[in-house]
Amino acid sequence: MLREMLRWIWDETLLQGLVHGFPTIGCVVVIGVCIVILCKGADWMVDGAVHLARRTALPRIVIGATIISLGTTMPEAVVSVMAAWMGNPGLALGNGVGSIIADTGLIFGLICILTKVPVNRFILNRTGWVQVGAATLLVTISLVALVLMEGEPVLYRWVGALFLVLLGGYMYITYVWAKQGADAAMEGEETDNSELMSLGKCWLMLLGGLFLVVVGARILVPSAAEIAYRIGVPEDVIAATMVALGTSLPELMTAIAAVRKGHPEIMVGNIVGADVLNCLFVIGAAAVAKPLIVSPNFYTFHFPAMILILYSFRFFIFMNRDGWFKRWQGSWLFVVYLTYLFLQYAFNIGTVHG
Q: What's the pLDDT tens digit per position in 129-155?
A: 888 999 999 999 999 999 988 888 999
CA 50/CA 212 separation, integer angstroms: 18
| Residues 177-212 pLDDT 10s | 766 654 544 454 455 555 667 778 878 887 887 787
**pLDDT at position 181:** 54
Q: Is 354 part of a structural domain of the chain?
A: no
Range of the domain at 326: 2-346
Could you tell me where the DSSP H helices lie in 11-120?
12-20, 24-56, 60-63, 69-85, 89-101, 109-114
**pLDDT at position 333:** 95
Q: What is the DSSP string of 153-166?
A: -EE-HHHHHHHHHH
Q: Quick one: how far is CA 53 from the chain centroid?
A: 21
In this structure, the number of other CB atoms found within 10 A of the CB of residue 328 comes to 10
**pLDDT at position 170:** 87
**pLDDT at position 135:** 95
**pLDDT at position 304:** 93
Residue 349 pLDDT more than 60? no
What CATH number did the domain enclosing 91 receive?
1.20.1420.30
CA 54/CA 344 separation, integer angstroms: 44
Q: Is 351 part of a structural domain of the chain?
A: no
Q: Is 74 part of a structural domain of the chain?
A: yes
Q: Is 352 part of a structural domain of the chain?
A: no
**pLDDT at position 352:** 40
**pLDDT at position 353:** 42
Q: Is 192 part of a structural domain of the chain?
A: yes
Q: Is 13 part of a structural domain of the chain?
A: yes
Q: Is 15 part of a structural domain of the chain?
A: yes
**pLDDT at position 166:** 94
From 26-35, 215-224, 233-242, 312-321, the region with the lowest mean pLDDT: 233-242
Number of domains in the chain: 1
**pLDDT at position 27:** 78
Nearest alpha carbon to residue 19 among 210, 228, 213 = 228
Q: Is 152 part of a structural domain of the chain?
A: yes
Residue 297 identity: N
Model pTM above 0.85: no
CA 340/CA 12 separation, integer angstroms: 24
Report the range out of 206-215, 234-243, 278-287, 340-349 with the highest average pLDDT.
Answer: 278-287
